[in-house]
Structure formats: C-alpha cells, structure tokens
Chain A
C-alpha cells in the first residue's frame, strides 16, 4: 500500500543515478525506518561510504530558525543520529545551538504526518494515496482560476523562488511567513538609511556592546553566530574584555550576560538610545559629517529626559554614552521580539543613529548581507482578511503554522476556514493542518534536496541523509507533480523531479559563480555544505527622513488604570516561535533564565507578588481586552514592576508532548492590529487576578544562591589582570584566607603519604602508562545557553522524564547549567546571574567509587570514573557520596517512555540505553575517546591533541569548553586549565576533580 508506492519508484537505475550523485543516496539502500523494517535489503554491493559501525557525515543546513546554520549530520547505518555544526559554515562555524540539536527530534517526531490525508464529508481525515492526493490538488488548482493563496514558512532559497514564480504563474498570492519577522529592524533601516535590509553584526569586533532588548543570545536574528562573536569579544582574553550593557524591562538570558543590566520602564529604551546619541554627538568629534544635521533634534533629548522616561540616572546614561563612544568600534543592538512594542521602529531607528554617530556602521554593523526574514505580520493579516472576504478558492500552507502563531483575536483559523479548499504541505500535524481539507506529508529538511540563502553570500545546501521516515515527499516534487496535473499556466513547471530542478538552478548558479564544471561545483558545494562568498559591505549614509520625530511612550492597547500591567510576550531560547513544543529535549531542558521545564508561567515582580500576596506556582488569571489565560506565577526580581512577562511557544492544540502540560499561548492576549507591519508582542495592558489554585513549578533549580560556597567564582577585571586566583581574590574580599589546617607534626606525618598511597595502586592495568582526560570550562565565555546540554542528550541517549518526575527533581541531565543569583536583595542592588555547567568532575580521588559494593563505579586506567551499567544494582550510595550531585538514577524504565517510536531511531548506537534501576552519569563521551583511540591505532599513530572532543565542547557556540589529555604538556587543555583564573569546585574536599573552571570576569559598571 502506502510504502509500496515509494518502493516502486525506486527502480535500480534511479537508485544508481542517486548513488552516482552523492553518498546521500546510499541512505536509500541502508536506510531503516519503522514502517520499512520488513523490506531491509542486505548489502549486495557494499557502498563505499556505508561501513556498518562507522559513522558517515553529510553536510546540510539547519531550518529551525531563519539564521540558517550549517550542520554535519552524523548517520549510522543510514540513520541520522546526531547533528553537529559545520566548521566550514560562515554562520555557525562548527557549533550548534540547542534548537538546532533538537531538529533530530523533529525528524523522528511521532507527531509527523505519516501519509496524505483527505478530509471526509463527516469532517474526519482519511489516508489516501499520493496519486489521488496529487490529482485532487491538481484538479482544485486548475479550477481555482488563480484565486490561490500560498503561505510558506520556508526560508529564502530555490524552493521559495520556485514557489514565487509558480504562484505568479497561477496569478495567486504568496506570503513568506516567519512569526519573528524582525520587521522593526528592517523598517528602521528603511527610515534611517533608506535601505530595506537587515545588516550583519560583528560582535567579535565590538569593544563595547549595548543591547536595548535585543536578545541576541536567544532568538534575535542569528543567535548562534552572535553568541560566538559575543564570547570572543566579551570573554576575558589576555587582559581584555568588551563591556556589555543592557537596557531592557526584563532580565533576559542576554541581559544576564551583561556586565550591567538596567531595568528600564517598558517602551522607554528609545529615549535612552537617543539621549546617548545626543551626548556623543554633542561632546565628541569624529561622527560622520552628515550626522551633524541631527544635532538640533537630538539636543532636545537630554539624558535628564531619558532618565525621567526610563527611571535611570542621567549621569549614568551620560557616562555609558561616553564609554560607548570612546570604545571604538562599539555596537548597539535593538529590535528583539520580546521588546517589540509600538515604538519598536523608533527604538531601532534611534539605535541606528546611535551606531551611526558612534561610527559603528560599516565597522560592526555591516549592510549588504541582508539577513533573511519573513514578509511580516501585516501581510499575513491582510491575506487572512482576503480569505475571509472570499478572495481565494484554494489556500496552501507550507511548513508554517499561522493558526497558532498569530493572535487569537486575528481569528486566522476562522478566516482560513472560509476558503473552500485548504491544503497543508506539512511535516507535523499542527494547529493549522487541523483546518485543512488536504494534508500532504512533506520531507523533513534532513530527508530532502534543498538549499537556503539565509543571507547574501551564503548558499547553503541540504541533502537527504537517510530514507524518509514516513511516506512523505519533497515539497518541490509535490509542486512539480501538481503542476503537471493542473496543466494550464503551470504546465511550464515540468522538471523530471525536484532534485533535477534544484540541479538546474545550481548549474545556473555555478555559471554565475564563473565555474565551468557544474557537476564539480555541485559536488564541492555538497561536500562543503554550500557555497560561501564574502559580501562587499554596502556603505550607507543617513537618509532624508532619518531625523527622529522625537520620542513619546509607545501606545498600548487596553485601558490604563489601577492594577494594570504591560504584557510582554517573549520567545524563549528553547521553544522559539513554538516549533520546539513537540521536541521532548527542548521541553525538558530548563529555560536558561527561569529554569522551568515543560509548562508555561507568568513572570511578576516581587513587589507585585507581595502586594497581591501571590507565591510561586499560584495560578494567575491574566486578562487583556482580547482574551485571558491562566498560568502559574513565577515571582521574578528580574522584571520591571510595571511588566508582566509570559513566554511564547506553548498552548498548542495538537503540537505537544503528553508528558508535560499543554501550557498556554500568550498570543491569546494580544490584539490583532499590526503596528508598522509587525505584531507588537509588547504593548497590551493586562490585569492580574488570583485563582487560589496552584500548579507547582517544574523547576530544575534547588536553591538559587551560592551561600558563599564558591561554586561559580568571579573576579573583577583588575583582579584578573593582576593574575589573581579566585582563592586570593576571596581572601582579599574578606573571605577566608588560604591557611594550613594541619599542625607541623601532622604535616610531617603526611609527608609523602599520597605517593605511598599511589604506589599501592600500581597494579594490573593501572601500572601502565595511560592518558588522563581533563576538561576546562571558561565561565567568562559561558552564557548559559544550554547548547551543551542538548548535545549531551543527543550524544548519550539521555531520556527525558516528563513534568511529573521533574517535580521530584529526577531529571537526567548529565550536564546541567546551574544558574545562581547574586545580589538583588537590597533595593537598588543589581540582580546578577552566575552560570556553572556542572557535569561529572571525573575526580582522581572519586568519593563515588569506593562506596560501590559491586565495583560498578570504578576508576579506569585513563582516569575516568567508569560506571558499569550492567553491574550496577542501584544502591545509589555513589550519588549520596558525590559532592557535585552529577549522578542520575533510573527510578523508572525511562528508556521505555522517553523514546516513543520513531524517536528511538535517533538513539546513538555507540551508547548503551540505560535500563531501570541503574545509576548513570557523564562519561566524558568515553565512546568518542575510544573511537578516536581506535582510529589512531588503525592509522598507527599516537593520539593527537584535539582528536577527542566531547559533545558538549563541540556544540558550545561560545567555545567555553576545552577537553584533552592533561598528561600531554602541549595540549590545549593544559594551556587553558593553567590560567590563573582556574579553580576546582569544592577543592577542599581533596577529591581532585579533572574539571577546571576559569572564574568569570566582571567589569562592573556604575549606574
């Protein structure tokens, strides 16, 4: 039946042509997926790039957000098991964020559409064959006479071009829809520079970074790239680090990584930016000549006014303005989704001017790249009205979920339903497919040929890395086949296949790139992951209408009055626009800021909580003129008292994971009115009401204070420059100085004791010479983004346990990001965050080992704390005795519940899936260590530094984690770990951990 069709299309000749093109086709041979197991074909002809037990890597492109990072897909036996960053790719340079890692759980998601579905008379869906589906759609299109609306969520690329010309041929309307369209940035650039573009930002080059609510470490434009740049600039390196100041109403992850975060009144950021620009322009020469025209306007925007508007001190604004200007090049950014209020364009314009007068444009703000973004909310809203108005006979939604991602007040679903025939080309059954008459399962990005142009100069390729998991087809093939069926104007689209079409397009591209050999060009591009060419920066000048009209507080809808708050619906770095909601990893990995998993919450300020007598977890009813939602309260000192913040991304009708609460969709509270073409995510007034009901917060946080235990240490810039160790600094800061606790005689008695003990351990394998593995984590680079956690989940088959178990503190994160709060207790004292990635410290004197009665926990010859799952009986004594609490116990058969088919296909065959009742923990990716050692042995060479890299170190966009053999004196790990900032957590316990932390460096900024 269903899979018969795919099988029959796969005749030998086609197979060979595929194989001829790339190893990607080989996946067809060896690929396994749930519904084809009975059709496994043995290796008759061993394909050269499919060796059982050996991983094959394919270059591809991540489609989890518009940034378009390059990935390497690790496949085993024709099955994708891990996503890793593509080192050649200009966007992410070998790293990958948590969302990117989780793309695999999209590929293998049980919620995927498995076969074409057609709506029946009774409203139910019925599985139909592809031929029928194509025929049905073709017929409808032929009959539609161009009254066709197309919404696509796919990025800029050959397919979107095809779709564009296709829709044009039809005479229909196409909308490229990204919920986070960053329209304000684009609009502001139009206004200030007369350039309809989104520039690239060079954080690495910046000496001073000011963020006006642009969460560039979370969801803003190209987070992974920016995090890399930020770490390079802001991470302490030979005596230097860039400053980072943040002005925003809410302490986001980005703001938590600032040297100083100022909580400003919602909507007043623009005033501060203008004031800063004014100060710079008034006091400093060297601003571009054409900026002088602004003097007059900006003079009106004194720091005093800004201070009044924002609630900051005028002197502070002045000082920061001067610092910003003197530290050249600097960089100011704005326009994050969370701070998109009705004044967002003004804000971005003000920031553009600030950058311009500080001479950053062309230095750190680089026009010409033009980062891709969607068409903007207004266009979609317009389309929806058209649908309601009966302008369309057929509506096609491709890889988008507008019914979820638009405010309920827009009633997209209702308007959409008015279209006679609605088609979804969807990977997942989501809130939009529910309303469709025909649902066509299309290939996931990892199953199809495709390309993406996230910005000028980056043409990134995708290739099928394995046999499709379900009976899906490439959207391109669907379009081409339908065109043939529909005929008429569409008859022109007659490529033999989508792949052929793509190859044609690339042949043209090759010519354009001046390459004669199209095939060679294509192969090289495939191998490299795409074609990456430098872009000449476009120099810009101020446009005519650049001068700001002046600032006034952005308008809010809803009635002002007692007990009314400004709502900020902000995206989290895990769920983004909601497409993460069906990825168990992203649901269980706690939000980096609040450390909440699985459910929605409402952030309110402690003063408000005190006033309303609300505690954490008490369910609040939030009401706006457009609707109301109920969610548990999180009392959070990091937001402005006037603000109520609710994360986006949950509250789906279908897209979900049953082991967590469905949550709520903050968009239900927003008005549908666009502002300057975008949706104001901040800009609605809401009121709060207590319900008296509770929903315990599923947090991974125990106690968020360090209690002076020196877990996540920090030094001031001066101390770091003096080369002080954290211990010394603590002593200076009035802490306990280092002192010898033993008496003279005791010291003598201890003389050589450790050596004698060592002697008694030299037996069997321990007598031989082995490497000793070590890790170093630079806390001045770590931003707490949790990419390492995702990588660890993927690499080590870590089960997700679900909300109920999280409430008992039973999460299994082998590596966790501990987020401690500092300060924020007295009035005016800033609330600061400290991050500490905590994984097994692989202690030399490991307390966990000797207490195990059965040697399940033991010391390997190369210095790891081995954990033999098969031997473990589960006394859990090792965990009791672990001061770092990094051992995790399988209380239930998590391995049975965490990987519902086909998610189990993602499991890494190199790593045991742990059974119920055994203890597990970080292994320093021992499978990778052994793999590298075997390769070295096969190539008959010693293991070189860098041969082994753990999943966490590999993924880290900040490059905060170093790993290697500490016995090799030249190794990178040694150079890093010997930094004066290096320290061990709980050093006094004499467990001698193998993980060295480099203290964070603080560059305090006075207000």
Chain B
C-alpha cells in the first residue's frame, strides 16, 4: 500500500547559493524538519545544514572486530576439534590463521557497514515526501512539511531566497 503523502511545500533551486540561503532562513525560522534533495553531495549544503559525521563508522569498527575474532576462533577451534598432523607443523599454528582472520575482518566489516548505512538512512528519513526527478539531475530541492495554513508564508520565504519553482501539495 502506498505511503501516505506528507503535506508540505516543495521548492526547487538552480543556484547553489540560493538553496543555501533558503536553508539558513528556514533554520532562522527555527525549522529543522525540512529535507534537502541534491544530485550529488555538496559541501555548501552540508555546511548550511551543519551536518555532522555519520555514526556508520561504528558499524564498520565492530563488524571488523567480530570478523577478526570469528576468523581466529573458527580456525583454531576447528583444528583442535579433530587434530590432524600435517608436515610436522603444530596442530593449530597462529601465523597461517592470520589470513582467515584478516579476510573475515574485511568481509564482515563491509557487510555491517552497508547494513549500518541502510539502517541509519531509514531511521533519519521520512517516507512519502514530495520529490521531483529534476533533483537527481541538476536541481536542488527543499521540502518543508507544512499544513495549508503555513504554506503561503513558507512559499514566500523560499521564493525570496531564490527558488525557481515552489509548489505546495497537500
């Protein structure tokens, strides 16, 4: 079933500085709940929004640690579980098992990173926001959730900031 559309004002910008002005003035109005669309990551926008580092790195770290432990644990346990002597070498030598530990570190680290990214992006995002295909092309979009009452003033604000196109959909 389709997600319920969120009512609000959707503005589209050609110029980057215009978009940043709009963001700042919205923040001036104490709005934090708006969403900015861009076709590529953009530092000016990030600065305007005051974006901080993503916690996804924690997922990477712990994924990696788990992988490393798994690598050593598996190899050593399996060697001792059924001891078989080969080439006069110790039953469970550490040096060769570093390889397995390393590979699993990378593998599980990578998986948890992707998982973390998906989880966080879903947590922060809101479904059902208005969107315009142009945003993945050369436009910057700003959507401000708003009822019919605030729509007018917001539209005015965005237009004054330099939005080339503003529409309100309920």
Contact between chain A and chain B defined by CB under 8 Å: yes
Instruction: Point out residues on A near B: beta carbons under 8 Å.
Output: 757-758, 760-761, 763-766, 844-850, 852, 855, 857-859, 992
> Whole-angstrom distance from the CB of A883 to the nearest CB of chain B?
13
A674, B130: Cα distance in complex, Å: 114
Q: A850-B87, A855-B84, A857-B86 are in contact. List 7 more A-B contacts (CB 8 A).
A: A760-B91, A844-B88, A845-B88, A846-B86, A846-B88, A858-B85, A992-B88
Residues on A with beta carbons closer than 8 Å to the beta carbon of B89: 757, 761, 850
Q: Give the interface centre of A763, A847, A858 by most chain B CB atoms within 10 Å.
A: A763
B93 within 8 A of A: yes
B85-A859 in contact (CB<8A):
yes
> Whole-angstrom distance from the CB of B121 to the nearest CB of chain A?
40
- In B56-106, which residues have CB < 8 Å from any A CB? 80, 82-93
> Whole-angstrom distance from the CB of B79 to the nearest CB of chain A?
9
Residue of A nearest to B92 (CB): A760
Sample of 12 A–B contacts (CB below 8 Å): A757-B89, A757-B90, A758-B88, A765-B83, A766-B83, A766-B91, A844-B88, A846-B88, A855-B84, A858-B84, A859-B86, A992-B88
Instruction: Point out residues on B near A: beta carbons under 8 Å.
Output: 80, 82-93
A761-B90 in contact (CB<8A):
yes
> Whole-angstrom distance from the CB of A997 to the nearest CB of chain B?
21
> Whole-angstrom distance from the CB of A868 to the nearest CB of chain B?
10
A760-B90 in contact (CB<8A):
yes
Choose among A757, A763, A852 the residue that contacts B83 (Cβ–Cβ < 8 A): A763
Residue of A nearest to B79 (CB): A763
> Whole-angstrom distance from the CB of A857 to the nearest CB of chain B?
7
A844, B85: Cα distance in complex, Å: 10
Residues on B with beta carbons closer than 8 Å to the beta carbon of A844: 88
A849-B87 in contact (CB<8A):
yes
Residues on B with beta carbons closer than 8 Å to the beta carbon of A849: 85-87
A859, B83: Cα distance in complex, Å: 11
A455, B89: Cα distance in complex, Å: 58
> Whole-angstrom distance from the CB of B114 to the nearest CB of chain A?
30
A849, B87: Cα distance in complex, Å: 5
Residue of B nearest to A849 (CB): B86
Residues on A with beta carbons closer than 8 Å to the beta carbon of B84: 855, 858-859
Residue of B nearest to A764 (CB): B83
> Whole-angstrom distance from the CB of B124 to the nearest CB of chain A?
46
A616, B159: Cα distance in complex, Å: 95
B87-A845 in contact (CB<8A):
yes
> Whole-angstrom distance from the CB of A72 to the nearest CB of chain B?
37
A847, B88: Cα distance in complex, Å: 9
Residues on B with beta carbons closer than 8 Å to the beta carbon of A757: 88-90
A846-B87 in contact (CB<8A):
yes
A857, B87: Cα distance in complex, Å: 10
B91-A855 in contact (CB<8A):
no
A847-B85 in contact (CB<8A):
no
B91-A847 in contact (CB<8A):
no
Residues on B with beta carbons closer than 8 Å to the beta carbon of A760: 90-93
Residues on B with beta carbons closer than 8 Å to the beta carbon of A859: 84-88
Residues on A with beta carbons closer than 8 Å to the beta carbon of B91: 760-761, 763, 766
B86-A763 in contact (CB<8A):
no
B80-A763 in contact (CB<8A):
yes
Residue of A nearest to B80 (CB): A763
A992, B90: Cα distance in complex, Å: 16
A193, B85: Cα distance in complex, Å: 68
A852, B84: Cα distance in complex, Å: 12
A470, B91: Cα distance in complex, Å: 55
Residue of A nearest to B96 (CB): A850
Residue of A nearest to B91 (CB): A763
A760, B87: Cα distance in complex, Å: 12
Residue of A nearest to B85 (CB): A859
The 4 A-B pairs with the shortest beta carbon distances in the complex, nearest first, are A760-B90, A849-B86, A850-B87, A845-B88
Residues on A with beta carbons closer than 8 Å to the beta carbon of B80: 763
A858-B86 in contact (CB<8A):
yes
Residue of B nearest to A866 (CB): B84
Residues on B with beta carbons closer than 8 Å to the beta carbon of A855: 84, 86
> Whole-angstrom distance from the CB of B12 to the nearest CB of chain A?
59
Q: Give the interface centre of A760, A765, A844, A845 by most chain B CB atoms within 10 Å.
A: A760
A850, B83: Cα distance in complex, Å: 13
Residue of A nearest to B87 (CB): A850
A845, B86: Cα distance in complex, Å: 8
Residues on B with beta carbons closer than 8 Å to the beta carbon of A850: 86-87, 89
Residues on A with beta carbons closer than 8 Å to the beta carbon of B88: 757-758, 761, 844-846, 859, 992
A850, B85: Cα distance in complex, Å: 8
> Whole-angstrom distance from the CB of A478 to the nearest CB of chain B?
60
Residues on A with beta carbons closer than 8 Å to the beta carbon of B86: 846, 849-850, 852, 855, 857-859
> Whole-angstrom distance from the CB of A135 to the nearest CB of chain B?
68
A852, B80: Cα distance in complex, Å: 17
Residue of B nearest to A881 (CB): B87
Q: Give the interface centre of B85, B89, B91, B93 by most chain A CB atoms within 10 Å.
A: B85
